[in-house]
Amino acid sequence: MKITRNTRRNALTVLYQLDCGSTIDDPDLRTSLDHSDDDDRPGGIGEEAERQLGYDLACSIWAHQKEADECIAALTPEWPTHRQPIIDRNLLRMGWFEITTDRTPPKLAINEAVELAREYSTTQSSLFVNGVLDRIYHGGRTEDEEVPTPNADVES
């Protein structure tokens, strides 16, 4: 099954929870995807297959979280991973994973992460996510290139 935007939304939901201290073996982690954003009625984001694939994608990304963070940190020394808004750092992890594992064409992975940043994060986040993932795609950045920084007012 192809990775859809709803799949990525579900993966982002799981990554957010993992980043906040949940563990992969927490039974509530998977079931949290089965509820809508507005209330506790069944029917989370997208079809059941998209929720399951999103969960599986998030687990794969989280298994490589340290490697992703090291790569991202090397490109953003002025904005360490722990200071990035939680949504941004998880979108960067997702984009890094999709680009480096060749699961998704890099430009599509970048575009999807940017669109999710526009939907879920700060006004500056889409520029930041785009800049970092573009540099990952191109194998790093040159010294004269500057990566935009996320909104400094956001705490994670």
Q: What is the mean pLDDT of residues 92-102?
A: 97
pLDDT at 145: 52
CA atoms within 13 A on the CB side of 5: 12
Cα dihedral angle (124, 113, 27, 47), rounded to 10 degrees? 120
Q: Which two tokens stand for residue 11?
A: 């993966």
Q: What is the pTM of this model?
A: 0.84
Q: What is the mean pLDDT of residues 124-151?
A: 77
pLDDT at 149: 54
Q: Write the pLDDT tens digit of every residue in 137-148.
A: 998 644 445 555
Cα dihedral angle (37, 42, 44, 49), rounded to 10 degrees? 170
Q: Is 19 helix (H, G, I), strand (E, B) or coil?
A: helix
Q: Which CATH number fits domain 64-156: 3.40.50.1370, 1.10.940.10, 2.60.120.620, 3.30.465.10?
A: 1.10.940.10
Interatomic CA distance for residues 71 and 94, integer angstroms:
13
Which sequence spans correspond to the domains of the chain?
1-63, 64-156
Q: What is the DSSP string of 67-136?
A: HHHHHHHHH-TTS-GGGS-HHHHHHHHHHHHHHHTTSS-HHHHHHHHHHHHHHHS-TTHHHHHHHHHHHH
Q: Write the pLDDT tens digit of every residue in 24-57.
A: 989 888 888 887 555 444 567 888 999 999 999 9
